[in-house]
Structures are given as structure tokens and as C-alpha cells.
Chain A
Amino acid sequence: MTLDRFSGTDRYVATEDLMAAVNAAITLGRPVLIKGEPGTGKTQLAEEVAEALDRPFYEWHIKSTTKAQHGLYEYDAVARLRDSQLGDGRVKDIRNYIVKGRLWEAFESERQPVLLIDEIDKADIEFPNDLLRELDRMEFYVHELKETIQARLRPIVIITSNNEKELPDAFLRRCFFHYIRFPDQETMEQIVEVHYPGLKKTLLAEALRTFFEVREVPGLKKKPSTSELLDWLKLLLAEEIPAEALASDDRRKSLPPMHGALLKNEQDVHLFEQLIFLNRRDAR
């Protein structure tokens, strides 16, 4: 197995600590758990790792009703029952009714795959525990077939969590952990440069200042994150809003242009309107 190193891509800025965690996971073949504020690019990371290392990519999105078994396989008993009544020949072989899950698919991959288990905290508290052995040994047993399925090559497993639930200790102990911190101004400039190369310096500077100021406002229900900043910049560019429109004097008296991309909650917009009202009154 060749040792691969991930060092970000031309679309994804990886900080030093993120690279350390991801590379440790790749080298030792253990899962890496990524946490962080929503919109800081947790899910995107897996795609970019697959892209950068040129690996097949499998995603498994977790919902509150997802069971660990869904990722392995499902036995479609109802279809088999129906086929048996219709006299279908397929009924004889149970294999026809085993539906492979994402984990199984990844295990069968010819080349070492990247497997994303997205938002693991959405599922039931027992979910991570049910996957312990599967992720540790990279194998599982299929009762219906009396067979053990083993991974040809240990997949690079990237797991994301939004912190909605505490994950069990036994599970955490087997993972590498990385917390994506909200990027500082410098990293943010790099990120924006990667997405919108050659953005006018003045516009970027004004936009970033407005953005960080909005984040600083106390009492916001939902602080805007990186993905919201990128959407907002896209709108600013599309509408050809000049940098002057973002200049400080203007901002105190009105909401930032296209504020809908930054503030996603009517209470937050209301809070801003009140602040602006107070500022205007003070100015008088």
C-alpha cells in the first residue's frame, strides 16, 4: 500500500491540524471523526480527499431512522414473499433479495475507497456502537448467506458529526478526531481566493469585515458560516454590487446588501433592524 498524503486541493483549503488528522487516519487505516460548526466544509472534506487521492467515493448519509444494518445489507423479505406467490424462479436464491448497503459496496471496491459516513449523530445512540466491529476489523457477517464479508482494502473512513449527541467512548477511542474551528480572517481570505480567484481586493476586504462584524453581533440565533459567506459573495458578484456599498458608513444605517444570504432567521433580521434603528437615533 502506497502512503498517500492529503494536503488540500485547489478547491479546498486544509489547515495544518486537519491534514495531520486526515493523514494519520489514512496511514493507520482508522476512521477520522470530523466535528465543527455547520457550514465549515465537513462533508466536502471527504469528497476532496477522494478527489485528491483519486479514489472511488462512497457516501452514506445518516438520518434519525437509519440503523447500522442499513449500511451493511438488507434482506427484502416482502419482495421474496411476493415473488413466491407469483411463482418467480428467483425465489430459490436468497442472494436475489439481499440488498447491499454502502459499507458493503465500499468493502467490495477494487481500489482503496473513501467512505463518508455523514452526520453520524443524527442516528440513534446505539448506532455507532453497532458499527464498532465493522469499522475495526472491516468485516461483517451475513446471517442469511452464512458468509463473512471482508474489505479487500481498508477504506479511508471519514465520519462527520454536528454534535447533536454525545458519541459513545468506545467508538471515539477508535477514531482520530478533528474539530474544524471557524476559520480566522487569514484562512478565510485563502478560502475565498480558492472559490473566487481574482476577486477585487477592496470588495473582499469590505465583505469580510462586514461578515466578521455580523458574526460578532451578540444574540444572533444562527451565526453565518463559511458556506453562507461564499453564497453571499456569489450574490454580490452576480448583482455587481460595488465595494463602496459595503463601506462602514452605509452599513450602520441599513442592512448589508443581500442580507438574506447571511441571516437565515427572521428574528436575527429583526435584531439587526433594531440595532440600525438605534444607530440612526444616536446619529441624530
Chain B
Amino acid sequence: MLVRFFYQLRGAGLPVSVTEFLTLLEAMKHGLGGGDVNAFYYLARSTLVKSEAHFDRFDQVFGDYYRGVEKVFGPDSVEVPDEWLRRQAELLLSPEERQRIESLGGFEALMDALKQRLEEQKKRHQGGNRMIGTAGTSPFGAYGFNPEGVRIGQDGSRHRRGAKVWDRREYRNLDDDVQLGTRNIKIALRRLRRFARHGAEEELDLDDTIRSTARQGGLLDIKMVPERHNAIKVLLFLDIGGSMDDHIRLCEEMFSAARSEFKHLEYFYFHNCVYESVWRDNRRRHAARTPTMEVLRTYGRDYKLIFVGDATMSPYEIIYPGGSVEHWNEEPGSVWMQRLLEYYGKAVWLNPEPEQRWDYTPSTGLLRDLLNQRMFPLTIRGLERGMKELM
């Protein structure tokens, strides 16, 4: 019983374990989730799925499974001639058009209308917005778009819409919610923690107390140690302007998350590549610059170096003197990068561009080589990998 459902869930990549499956069966033995399919759906979801990010996938599998069961028991399984449904073309609608397409009513109404339509229809039909066929905007048929449509003979859901509780797919946006975004970044950054004892003494050091009490012949001598704090120091270099404008939002989030996570965070801006000077205030970028040598002198080797930039520029900006687009640089960017990287042993470059696109820009490859492949995409996974590298 339900074994096929279990394997379908696993097949969809949901981490469902046997224990959880047995729990579900046990709950059903106690009479939970009986009666109607909604109750069963809620029970199964709370037993088998342990993350809201997986709710959506569960909804889809449940929908498929439920439809299969319905097909066996339901009275009205509609037979549609195969030939009509063979894929010929796909109609791509613009979002505005999609919005314009309205639903006909509930699932029941759709099924009724479908039966009627089938009787009216005589020929194979393609396009248009009323008859069954492919690539149209009628609620019936496949490869078209209607938010409440009935899917006939289509392998997978293309636009991922349909109707019922699990079909409402309310959890679709949960993983990429903006609020969760900043939070996710913070969690990823939190990997970069190294606790050390600093400041006022406020915790009891039990071992030391026992030792020193024993040494004093049993006279209680309480020893305290300072509480532990995150002692990681971070030096952040942010690329600003030009092609980075596309990534402002992501970088802002990253920056605000970093500010709240690290007590010792120093940050500087640069444009495209680091040269002999960087700046802290973008409004006074030409007036108040900090020589890179001074940065090297001020912040010790125990700082970890994080660059954030898209590494997209002309290769000349990295390898030739005078290659900078903003000023005449005596020494090429690569020399300055090397100086920084030699001094600070731990360094990573976080790139907001998707990883697949890195190979298309030679400058990205150049910087990646300079960093010994320590370039990571600015995604949660990339951040986690990067933080591991920095530890």
C-alpha cells in the first residue's frame, strides 16, 4: 500500500526515509488522515516532508499520484485521440498574454466542458483558443498555456499550473524569497567562525577552578575565563560601477549580511581590478583614496580576503601597465593582485555572474588563475564553498 507513492517521492529527489514512511502507515492505522483526500494530503506532507523548500515538489508528486488513483476509480476518464496530441509546435506566450487568459471555473467545470468540447470537435486542431489540440490557448490540450487547464498527453508540466489544494503550488517561491535570501547569506557566512576568548572574564572555568582549589589544599578558588567570541577578521574588496550595476541588489545583500556577521570587517571599493589605490566612500572616490600599500601595512596577515566582483573587463586591465579604464596605472593589476594574495594567505573571489558564463570572458579566467581557482559564484552554495576555503 502506498509503496509506489513512496518510490515516486524518492524518484522525485525528495529525501524520504523508510522510518518516515512507516510513521505515516502507523498514523493511518490510528485512523489519522482518513476520510477525505485533503486530510491524507496534510498528514502525508507533515510526516514525509521536512523542509518547506520541498513542499512544492511534494505537491507535484502527490498531484500525479492522486490523478493516477483517480483515473482508476473515477467514472470519467476521457479518451483523446493520440494523433491530435502529438507535439507539433510550442506556443510561447508573453507574460501579458498569459495574464489575459482567464480560467473557466473549477476543476469540475473544466472536465464537463472538456467532454462537451470533445463531442463538438471533429478534426485535428492546432493553435486557436477553443478546440483540443496542441499549442493553443484553449484550456484543453498540451503545450499551450491556460492557468487552469487540464493537461492531456503531456510528459511534464511546462508552465506548472493546474487546480486543487496541492495544485495551487503555494510554496513555489519559498526558496528564493528575498527575506530568506539575506538570511541564507548570513547563515552561509556564519560558517566562517572561529571562536576565541577576548574581553572581560565572565565564565567559570571549571577545570582550572578544580586544579587551583586542589593546589590550595581544598580552599575554593574560583577561576573565570572570558566568553568566546567570533574572532574572524575579514577584509572585503567590492567591485563597483560598470558591469557590476546589474548585481547591485545581490551585492547589497551580501554586504549587509557580512556587516552583521563579522565584528572585524574592513571594506574597500575598486573598479574592475585592484590597482595602487582603493577607496572607502564612493562619493569621494577621487578625493579620498587609500593606497593599497597602506591597506597591506594596516591590516595584518590574519585577515581573510574576500573579493566581490564580476571579473568582467578587458584582459588589458589586468595584465598591462596603463590598462585601467579610469587612470594611468604604473603597474598592471595582476601585480597588485599578486601582492595582496601573497600577503594574505586566505583569499577567495566571489563572482555574481553565473558559473557557466565564466568561460566566455577571458578576464575571468585570468583572475581565476591568479587566485589559484579560488573563485566561487555568489550563490548560497558558492558562498559555503568559499567560506570552507577560507577556514
Task: Tell which of B51, B170, B171 has the most Cβ of chain A within 10 Å.
Answer: B51
B183-208 vs A, CB cutoff 8 Å, 1 = contact: the mask equals 10001000000000000000010100
A65-109 vs B, CB cutoff 8 Å, 1 = contact: the mask equals 000000000000110011001000000000000000000000000
Residues in chain A near residue B19, CB distance under 8 A: 173-174
Interface contact A164-B187, CB-CB below 8 Å: yes
Instruction: Tell me, yes or no, whether B38 is within 8 Å of chain A by CB.
Output: yes
Q: Complex: how many Å from CA A24 to CA B15?
A: 20
With contacts A35-B52, A177-B46, A178-B46 taken as known, whether A23 is within 8 angstroms of B15 at the C-beta atoms is: no
Instruction: Tell me, yes or no, whether A246 is within 8 Å of chain B by CB.
Output: no
Interface contact A177-B179, CB-CB below 8 Å: no
Interface contact B39-A20, CB-CB below 8 Å: yes
Instruction: Tell me, yes or no, whether B341 is within 8 Å of chain A by CB.
Output: no
* Smallest beta-carbon distance A96→chain B, Å: 17
* Smallest beta-carbon distance B15→chain A, Å: 7
Residues in chain A near residue B182, CB distance under 8 A: 221
Q: Complex: how many Å from CA A183 to CA B254?
A: 29
Interface contact A164-B183, CB-CB below 8 Å: yes
* Smallest beta-carbon distance A179→chain B, Å: 4
By beta carbon, the residue of chain B nearest A164 is B187
Residues in chain A near residue B170, CB distance under 8 A: 181
* Smallest beta-carbon distance B211→chain A, Å: 13
Interface contact A33-B180, CB-CB below 8 Å: no
With contacts A78-B204, A78-B222, A163-B180 taken as known, whether A21 is within 8 angstroms of B209 at the C-beta atoms is: no
B153-182 vs A, CB cutoff 8 Å, 1 = contact: the mask equals 000000000000000001100000011101
Residues in chain A near residue B38, CB distance under 8 A: 16
* Smallest beta-carbon distance A37→chain B, Å: 8
By beta carbon, the residue of chain B nearest A30 is B23
Residues in chain B near residue A24, CB distance under 8 A: 27, 32-33, 43, 46-47
* Smallest beta-carbon distance B73→chain A, Å: 23
Residues in chain A near residue B15, CB distance under 8 A: 169
Stretch from B111-119, B213-221, B272-280, B364-372 contacting the other chain: B213-221
Q: Complex: how many Å from CA A28 to CA B30?
A: 8
B321-349 vs A, CB cutoff 8 Å, 1 = contact: the mask equals 00000000000000000000000000000
Residues in chain B near residue A218, CB distance under 8 A: 178
Instruction: Tell me, yes or no, whether A232 is within 8 Å of chain B by CB.
Output: no
Residues in chain B near residue A174, CB distance under 8 A: 19
Interface contact B187-A177, CB-CB below 8 Å: no
- Given B39, B42, B50, B204, which contacts A172 in the complex, CB threshold below 8 Å? B50
Q: Complex: how many Å from CA A200 to CA B47?
A: 41
- Given B30, B46, B204, B219, which contacts A27 in the complex, CB threshold below 8 Å? B30
- Given A78, A173, A219, A222, which contacts B209 in the complex, CB threshold below 8 Å? A78
Interface contact B42-A21, CB-CB below 8 Å: yes
Interface contact A85-B220, CB-CB below 8 Å: yes
A174-193 vs B, CB cutoff 8 Å, 1 = contact: the mask equals 11111101000000000000
Instruction: Tell me, yes or no, whether B26 is within 8 Å of chain A by CB.
Output: yes
Residues in chain B near residue A82, CB distance under 8 A: 220
Interface contact A173-B17, CB-CB below 8 Å: yes
By beta carbon, the residue of chain B nearest A171 is B50
Residues in chain A near residue B52, CB distance under 8 A: 35, 179
Interface contact A223-B46, CB-CB below 8 Å: no
Q: Complex: how many Å from CA A179 to CA B54?
A: 11
Instruction: Tell me, yes or no, whether B64 is within 8 Å of chain A by CB.
Output: no
Instruction: Tell me, yes or no, whether B265 is within 8 Å of chain A by CB.
Output: no
Residues in chain B near residue A223, CB distance under 8 A: 179
* Smallest beta-carbon distance A3→chain B, Å: 8
* Smallest beta-carbon distance B191→chain A, Å: 11
With contacts A17-B45, A24-B27, A28-B23 taken as known, whether A177 is within 8 angstroms of B50 at the C-beta atoms is: yes
Instruction: Tell me, yes or no, whether B270 is within 8 Å of chain A by CB.
Output: no
By beta carbon, the residue of chain A nearest B180 is A163
Residues in chain B near residue A164, CB distance under 8 A: 183, 187
Residues in chain B near residue A32, CB distance under 8 A: 46
* Smallest beta-carbon distance B298→chain A, Å: 30
Instruction: Tell me, yes or no, whether A137 is within 8 Å of chain B by CB.
Output: no
Instruction: Tell me, yes or no, whether B20 is within 8 Å of chain A by CB.
Output: yes
Instruction: Tell me, yes or no, whether A165 is within 8 Å of chain B by CB.
Output: yes
* Smallest beta-carbon distance A19→chain B, Å: 8
Q: Complex: how many Å from CA A256 to CA B49?
A: 40
Residues in chain A near residue B222, CB distance under 8 A: 78
Instruction: Tell me, yes or no, whether B55 is within 8 Å of chain A by CB.
Output: yes
Interface contact B187-A28, CB-CB below 8 Å: no
Residues in chain A near residue B51, CB distance under 8 A: 172, 177
Q: Which of A1-39 contact B (CB under 8 A)?
A: 3, 16-17, 20-21, 23-24, 27-28, 30, 32-33, 35, 37
* Smallest beta-carbon distance B33→chain A, Å: 7
- Given B26, B49, B180, B220, which contacts A177 in the complex, CB threshold below 8 Å? B49
Interface contact B27-A28, CB-CB below 8 Å: yes
Q: List residues of chain B with CB under 8 Å of any chain A CB.
A: 15, 17, 19-20, 23, 26-27, 30, 32-33, 38-39, 42-43, 45-47, 49-52, 55, 170-171, 178-180, 182-183, 187, 204, 206, 209, 213, 218-220, 222
The 6 closest A-B pairs by CB, nearest first: A20-B42, A21-B46, A172-B50, A179-B52, A17-B42, A176-B46
